[in-house]
């Protein structure tokens, strides 16, 4: 029935028009005299044959050409990675002081050694040479044999602090994850072939965050040549923690806040709790 639906509709429309025409003719025509008329047989309406268009033949399926995808990024060799670090640093900060840190060579290896030492509580002097402040530490004597650092000694670390704060946390973590295999390789060269450098970063950050907050200038003594903290608890801190204290309360608090952001972003990116 559905296949003949167009033909059925055409017949109904034709029949309605024909009945309407005949009705109009008989009702409006004037009476005619009797005449003899021949009976003319009205032929049956011709059946309208509707020819359905033939369905087009389906086109043969063409299998898509398989194109080998090129890797989006290819890491350089560890010994050739310095330029990549320098180029990537441009997107991390606009502070021009970052160029001072990037002037040396073996940047990944030195960063790994520096981080590993902090995680273990010490400071490697050679990797940290670029972070060393200019000028001598200045102290003032408040009583016989007892000293405190001058405020201007803290200012020596303002530049380092400002550079650290200027680095984009999210992008720096993304950049690290991109170069993660190179950091792992450099960490393995230190004698940790199966170590996890991600945990070293978090452990180093955790150690620095454990540095106590001192609101008042810490008192110093000088038993021989070097100054020491009068408070035994402060003197027992790791070299990395004592270095953070020497930067002054303002710089130390700002750096701690930045380190918390980095640790939070790193855990989130790596899916760690």
For residue range 222-273, list pLDDT tens digits in order.
998 899 999 999 999 999 899 899 999 999 999 999 999 999 999 999 986 5
- C-alpha 133/C-alpha 155 separation (Å) is 9
| pLDDT of the residue at 122 | 82
- Judged against a pLDDT cut of 50, whether residue 26 lies above it is answered with no
- Judged against a pLDDT cut of 50, whether residue 33 lies above it is answered with no
Collapsing DSSP to helix, strand or coil, 142 comes out as: strand
Two tokens at 30? 């004037």
Helix (H) or strand (E) holding 220: strand 220-221
What pTM was estimated for this model as a whole? 0.70
| pLDDT of the residue at 98 | 87
| pLDDT of the residue at 25 | 29
User: Shortest CA distance to 160 belongs to which of 266, 246, 263?
Assistant: 246
| pLDDT of the residue at 103 | 82
**Contact indicator for 107, 82 with CB cutoff of 8 Å:** yes
For residue range 117-157, list pLDDT tens digits in order.
999 988 766 555 555 677 788 999 999 999 999 988 999 99
Two tokens at 40? 């003319």
| pLDDT of the residue at 219 | 95
74 — pLDDT class (breaks 50, 70, 90): confident
**Overall average pLDDT of the 216-227 stretch:** 91
| pLDDT of the residue at 194 | 85
The percent of residues above 90 in pLDDT, for the chain, comes to: 51
| pLDDT of the residue at 130 | 58
Q: Which of 40-44, 65-69, 131-135, 260-264 has the lowest mean pLDDT?
A: 40-44
- Judged against a pLDDT cut of 90, whether residue 212 lies above it is answered with yes
**Overall average pLDDT of the 154-164 stretch:** 92
User: Shortest CA distance to 112 belongs to which of 192, 196, 186?
Assistant: 186
Q: Which of 23-27, 81-85, 226-230 has the lowest mean pLDDT?
A: 23-27
Instruction: Please enumerate in sequence order all residues whose Cβ is within 8 A of that of 224, keeping only pairs 6 or more positions apart, or say none.
Output: none
- Judged against a pLDDT cut of 70, whether residue 32 lies above it is answered with no
**Overall average pLDDT of the 27-39 stretch:** 36
Collapsing DSSP to helix, strand or coil, 225 comes out as: coil
Give the mean pLDDT of the chain: 78
């Amino acid at each position: 029935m559905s296949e003949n639906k167009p033909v059925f509709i055409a017949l109904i429309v034709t029949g309605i028009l024909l009945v309407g025409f005949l009705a109009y003719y008989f009702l409006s025509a004037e009476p005619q005299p009797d005449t003899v008329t021949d009976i003319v047989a009205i032929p049956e309406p011709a059946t309208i044959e509707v020819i359905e268009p033939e369905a087009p033949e389906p086109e043969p399926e063409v299998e898509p050409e398989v194109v080998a995808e090129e890797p989006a990024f290819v890491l350089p060799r560890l010994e050739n990675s310095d330029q990549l670090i320098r180029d990537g640093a441009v997107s991390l900060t606009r502070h021009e002081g970052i160029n001072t840190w990037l002037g040396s060579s073996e940047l990944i290896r030195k960063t790994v050694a520096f981080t590993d030492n902090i995680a273990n509580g010490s400071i490697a002097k050679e990797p940290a040479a670029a972070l060393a402040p200019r000028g001598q530490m200045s102290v003032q004597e408040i009583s016989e044999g007892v000293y405190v650092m001058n405020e201007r000694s803290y200012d020596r670390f303002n530049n380092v602090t400002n550079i650290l704060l200027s680095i984009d946390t999210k992008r720096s973590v993304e950049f690290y994850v991109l170069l993660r295999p190179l950091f792992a390789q450099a960490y393995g060269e230190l004698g940790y072939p199966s170590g996890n450098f991600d945990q070293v970063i978090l452990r180093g950050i955790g150690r620095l965050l454990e540095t106590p907050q001192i609101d008042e200038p810490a008192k110093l003594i000088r038993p021989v040549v070097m100054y020491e903290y009068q408070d035994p608890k402060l003197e027992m801190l790791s070299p990395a923690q004592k270095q953070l204290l020497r930067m002054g309360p303002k710089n130390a608090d700002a750096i701690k806040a930045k380190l918390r952001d980095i640790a939070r972003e790193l855990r989130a990116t790596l899916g760690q709790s």
